[in-house]
């Protein structure tokens, strides 16, 4: 049996933008056993989407040996490593240490690409690691244009039940990200949630993660009564988002996750280049906020609300979802 090891570190958004590589491997080597070496909780998503058959944590002691510069003796897991026919890796390896250790373990086929994206969209750049590999398109083009995640039926059912318990069409909003400079103001998310509810578009829900632990007191001070979803497992979050009618969020891993699940997504960008890092999806619409001299973001609540209305209206009128042509940028 073909055995393939895919090594990918980074945050949730980085992993989501690498999903086409997982899909490409599954397509080109359908009978292969695929092992993903990465971080939790991302590993749970990959297994829940059947994009890998096995997961090992980059934080484990044995795996840490792969990258230790003072490692002189044979690796404890050298025999396990030698069982792989192909290693696909995005782990930084400027000095070639990891490659040499893989070669000493007997691995002959190694595909490496730096995780640093210099040009083009990140999803295309990552997918390029498979160009020229066995089973690729004759012209070298990617076989999967967009990150896509399909969950196991049990996760889908959990998500549907969570949404049904709320009693109406749910619109999820995630006000956080990995960096405060990328965040649209929390007060504007609170105002948007109120206007979404009052306009009858649906039931807004604010999704909070560990990075947004200080958001609830602020929301209370703003007298925001929008329900909050927090502290749930990442696979349950994915199931929930997949059952929502739409999503609004900053440049974050959760926004990339929502896009990969195929729901309509409004991405709010400021501080990072959407030409490289925008969530990829057929129903994704990006609004850019530009900073004035005083640092005040220019993107208004009314603009976001209008874009959201257009997305949902298009879905109702045409029987399909479309995130294009609403005055912003789509990727």
Q: Which residues pair with 265 in a beta bridge?
A: 247, 284
| 324 domain residue, yes or no | no
The rounded distance, in Å, linking the Cα atoms of 262 and 255 is: 11
Q: Are residues 117 and 193 in the same domain?
A: no
Q: Are residues 229 and 80 in the same domain?
A: no
The rounded distance, in Å, linking the Cα atoms of 24 and 35 is: 14
The rounded distance, in Å, linking the Cα atoms of 4 and 88 is: 7
CA distances from 234 to 167, 178, 258, 265 (A): 23, 16, 12, 18
The domain tally of the chain equals 2
pTM: 0.90
CA distances from 28 to 17, 81, 136, 271 (A): 19, 21, 7, 37
Q: Which residue has the tokens 């990829």?
A: 280
| 145 domain residue, yes or no | no
Strand order in the sheet with 246-250: 228-230, 203-208, 170-174, 246-250, 265-269, 284-288
Burial of 32 from C-beta contacts in 10 A (0-12 / 13-18 / 19+): middle
What CATH number is attached to the domain comprising 244?
3.40.50.2000
Q: Are residues 115 and 165 in the same domain?
A: no
| 292 domain residue, yes or no | yes
Pairwise pLDDT comparison (77 vs 268), residue with the higher score: 268
The pLDDT confidence band at residue 323, using thresholds 50, 70 and 90, is: very low
Structural domain harbouring 59: 3-130
Q: Are residues 280 and 186 in the same domain?
A: yes
Mean pLDDT computed over 166-193: 91
Q: Are residues 184 and 82 in the same domain?
A: no
Tens digit of each residue's pLDDT (9 = 90 or more) over 216-238:
889 888 889 999 999 899 999 99
| 50 domain residue, yes or no | yes
Q: Are residues 254 and 297 in the same domain?
A: yes
The pLDDT confidence band at residue 143, using thresholds 50, 70 and 90, is: very low
The rounded distance, in Å, linking the Cα atoms of 211 and 134 is: 41
Pairwise pLDDT comparison (188 vs 137), residue with the higher score: 188
Lowest average pLDDT, out of 57-71, 165-179, 212-226, 269-283, goes to 57-71
Q: Are residues 190 and 313 in the same domain?
A: yes
Q: Are residues 194 and 242 in the same domain?
A: yes
| 65 domain residue, yes or no | yes
The CA-to-CA distance between both ends of the chain, in Å, stands at: 37
Tens digit of each residue's pLDDT (9 = 90 or more) over 29-55:
999 999 999 999 999 999 999 999 999
Q: Are residues 157 and 115 in the same domain?
A: no
Per-residue confidence (pLDDT) for residue 209, from 0 to 100: 87
Q: Is residue 29 helix, strand or coil?
A: coil
Q: Mean pLDDT over all residues of the chain?
A: 86
């Amino acid at each position: 049996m073909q055995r393939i090891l895919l090594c990918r570190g980074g945050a949730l958004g980085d992993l989501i933008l690498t999903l086409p590589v997982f899909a490409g491997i599954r397509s080109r080597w359908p009978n292969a056993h695929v092992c993903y070496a990465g971080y939790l909780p991302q590993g749970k998503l990959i297994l829940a989407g059947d994009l890998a058959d096995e997961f090992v944590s980059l934080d484990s002691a044995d795996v840490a040996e792969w990258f230790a510069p003072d490692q002189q003796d044979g690796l404890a897991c050298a025999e396990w490593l030698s069982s792989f026919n192909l290693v696909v890796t995005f782990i930084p390896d400027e000095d070639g240490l990891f490659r040499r250790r893989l070669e000493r373990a007997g691995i002959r086929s190694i595909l490496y690409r730096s995780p640093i994206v210099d040009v083009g969209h990140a999803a295309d750049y990552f997918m390029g690691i498979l160009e020229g590999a066995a089973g690729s398109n004759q012209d070298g083009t990617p076989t999967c244009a967009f990150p896509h995640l399909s969950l196991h039926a049990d996760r889908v059912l959990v998500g549907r039940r969570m949404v049904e318990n709320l009693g109406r069409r749910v619109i999820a909003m995630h006000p956080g990200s990995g960096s405060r400079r990328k965040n649209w103001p929390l007060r504007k998310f609170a105002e948007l949630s109120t206007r979404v509810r009052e306009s009858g578009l649906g039931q807004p829900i604010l999704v909070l993660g560990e990075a947004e632990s200080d958001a609830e007191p602020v929301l209370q001070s703003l007298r925001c009564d929008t329900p909050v979803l927090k502290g749930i497992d990442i696979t349950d979050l994915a199931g929930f988002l997949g059952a929502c009618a739409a999503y609004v969020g900053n440049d974050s891993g959760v926004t990339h996750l929502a896009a990969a699940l195929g729901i309509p997504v409004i991405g709010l960008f400021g501080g990072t280049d959407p030409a490289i890092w925008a969530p990829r999806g057929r129903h994704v619409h990006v609004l850019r906020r530009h900073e004035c001299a005083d640092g005040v973001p220019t993107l208004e609540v009314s603009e976001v609300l209008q874009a959201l209305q257009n997305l949902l209206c298009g879905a109702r009128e045409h029987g399909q979802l479309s995130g294009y042509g609403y005055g912003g940028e789509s990727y």
